[in-house]
Amino acid sequence: MTQYNNTRLLQALKRQPVDVPPVWLMRQAGRYLPEYRALRTKAGDFLTLCQTPQLATEITLQPLRRFDLDAAILFSDILTIPHAMGLGLSFQEGEGPQFAKRIETARDVKALPILEVEENLDYVLEAVRMIQQELQGRVPLIGFAGSPWTVACYMIEGSSHKNFINARKMAYQAPEVLTALLEKLITATTAYLKGQILAGVDVVMLFDTWGGLLTPAHYPLFSLTPMQKIITNLKADPNTANTPIILFSKGAVSHLEVMADSGADALGLDWTSALSAARTRVGAKVCVQGNLDPALLFSTPEKIKAAVKSVLNEWGPHPGLIVNLGHGIEQHTPIENVQALIAAVHEG
């Protein structure tokens, strides 16, 4: 077992008391950091960064060199799974992801190969091992995957879309095709997260960025149930049962109670819902992670300090809070404001 210097995140995930709440930021490694931009320019493109373990390791560590963060998050992407399944992912500068092939029919789903994590995603496992070597127990490492629904959105659409109309249409026109795709992604994601845990990540997070696009009837069917199956699979295997799981369904706060029953250890909240109300609704069942507005980081250190204070006061003395943003940090975020946020959490 790794001995950690900083156990705040792991303690909070067990709802144990901590000196101050742990803080980390979604997309903490990324384009707001000049050292990230320099490496990306040198490497040529984003996928090369993900697929080169030395570079992924370096980028994972970049924000930890600047800030007193309580966790590292693996530098990778949720779209590595469909890429490994042969859909041909690329990222054009200034644009979102683009797939060469997209999923439209039952035949397309059937043709998707079974993911062999050790072969197809070995570069991710290697990055995890290298990062842990470098971290030397300084902070825990978070691994991650996209939720099956969110990854399916990109596979069906073929690229980013503001409301993923083709994936939502499939939920009505061909629910059996969507379900078959989600089943394949449940299997692949379970294997992928197991691989990451065996390679050394300490916590895993499921990013369900597009769960909030679904109707109240479709959310449990197409978003929550597949995530729940992954959680059940991980909790049923003695090798992975003790690894805490964070579930983040953006824009889906109306489903908080059922999420709290999913088996996840923590729930991510976006900035549109209050922490205190969330705590009342989920009680001590799960930890809560969130929920500062990424736009707050474009204000001033004073305003950031006040916002952090109000989050900490609102939450109160209860264990089980992880301070984070309600979504990924934005590209042009001033670095001194990130510093101010982290310092404000640690000053309490």
Which residues are known to be catalytic? 27, 31, 40, 77, 154
Binding of ligand CP3 by 27 (CB under 6 A)? yes
Query: How far is 290 from 281, CA to CA, in rounded Å?
Result: 15
**CA separation (Å) from 24 to 21, 42, 130, 202?**
10, 27, 20, 14
* Closer residue to ligand CP3, CB minimum distance, 255 or 279: 255
Which residue, chain included where needed, has tokens 């690229």? 159
Least Å distance, CB 153 to ligand CP3, is 9
Binding of ligand CP3 by 26 (CB under 6 A)? yes
Query: How far is 187 from 232, CA to CA, in rounded Å?
Result: 12
* Closer residue to ligand CP3, CB minimum distance, 28 or 333: 28
Closest C-alpha among 249, 241, 254, 280 to residue 266:
249
Query: Of the listed pieces 24-32, 98-106, 190-198, 252-260, which binds ligand CP3 according to CB under 6 A?
Result: 24-32
Binding of ligand CP3 by 75 (CB under 6 A)? yes
Least Å distance, CB 49 to ligand CP3, is 7
Q: Which of residues 97-116 bind ligand CP3 (CB under 6 A)?
A: 97
**Amino acid residing at 220:** P
Query: How far is 326 from 268, CA to CA, in rounded Å?
Result: 7
Query: How far is 48 from 42, CA to CA, in rounded Å?
Result: 10
Binding of ligand CP3 by 192 (CB under 6 A)? no
The only residue of 96, 113, 316, 348 in contact with ligand CP3, by rule CB under 6 A:
96
Binding of ligand CP3 by 46 (CB under 6 A)? yes
The only residue of 58, 77, 157, 202 in contact with ligand CP3, by rule CB under 6 A:
77
Least Å distance, CB 48 to ligand CP3, is 11
Binding of ligand CP3 by 73 (CB under 6 A)? yes
The only residue of 144, 192, 222, 315 in contact with ligand CP3, by rule CB under 6 A:
144
Least Å distance, CB 306 to ligand CP3, is 26
Binding of ligand CP3 by 149 (CB under 6 A)? no
Least Å distance, CB 318 to ligand CP3, is 26
* Closer residue to ligand CP3, CB minimum distance, 86 or 319: 86
Binding of ligand CP3 by 30 (CB under 6 A)? yes
Binding of ligand CP3 by 209 (CB under 6 A)? yes
* Closer residue to ligand CP3, CB minimum distance, 21 or 97: 97
Query: Of the listed pieces 9-17, 77-85, 109-117, 307-315, which binds ligand CP3 according to CB under 6 A?
Result: 77-85
- The answer to whether the CB of 243 falls within 8 A of the CB of 197 is yes
* Closer residue to ligand CP3, CB minimum distance, 249 or 279: 249
Which residue, chain included where needed, has tokens 């980081």? 297
In the complex, the residues that contact ligand CP3 under the rule CB under 6 A are: 26-31, 40, 46, 73, 75, 77-79, 91, 96-97, 144, 160, 207, 209, 328
